[in-house]
Amino acid sequence: MIRLATPADAPQIAAIYRPFCDDSHISFETSAPDAAEMASRIEKINQRFPWLVDEIDGAIAGYAYASPHRERAAYRWAVEVTVYIHEQFRGRGLGRALYTELFKRLRGQGFFKAYAGITQPNPASAAFHESMGFAPVGTYRKIGYKLGSWWDTSWWQIALQPEVESPAEPRPPPPVPCAP
């Protein structure tokens, strides 16, 4: 079941994210946030954007959320998105399901563009984002140093909906659960 994340989900979300921080170049965080920090992040994100989890038999199998692309006012119709899936649940379409629901909610809030940063190399993430309709828009060369190496980050973009003249202000997410 895909639903809004709550701070109570933080321990499982932190456990999913930990290997990406500690043992991988995928996240540029160099120390994994604990459950308390993750709960704080969930509360903050959920004030403006959806943070979704996919729950299977009581376990959080993956999560996706949006955050500001940039803080300057003219960027307010664009978001940055991310998705992480627990190792045991990869390859089952959960990432696609989470992004599909996330994009639906973001469109409903009035957002127009979504961006994803992918540390390179990461062919699986690049292929996944391309399959979702993202297109590459640029690369920051050797921007992050982690695990003894410099890493590139490629940026990908997807249109959530066509642009309009004088767009309405984005709305906060409604606190309603997602359907299974």
**Residue 61 has what DSSP assignment?**
E
- Written as one letter, the residue type at 13 is I
Consecutive H or E run containing 85: strand 78-85
Q: How many domains does the chain have?
A: 1
Tokens for 75, please give them: 């960027």
Question: Residue 164: inside a domain, yes or no?
Answer: no
Report the CATH number that the domain containing residue 47 is assigned in CATH: 3.40.630.30
Per-residue pLDDT 10s for the chain (180 aa) are 999 999 999 999 999 999 999 999 999 999 999 999 999 999 999 999 999 999 999 999 999 999 999 999 999 999 999 999 999 999 999 999 999 999 999 999 999 999 999 999 999 999 999 999 999 999 999 999 999 999 999 999 999 999 999 999 999 887 655 444
Collapsing DSSP to helix, strand or coil, 170 comes out as coil
Consecutive H or E run containing 4: strand 2-4
Question: Residue 172: inside a domain, yes or no?
Answer: no
**Which range marks the domain in which residue 109 is found?**
2-159
User: Tell me, what's the pLDDT at 72?
Assistant: 96
Single out the residue of 64, 139, 143, 134 nearest to residue 105, CA to CA: 64
Question: Residue 47: inside a domain, yes or no?
Answer: yes
User: What predicted TM-score, i.e. pTM, was given to this entire model?
Assistant: 0.94
Question: Residue 88: inside a domain, yes or no?
Answer: yes
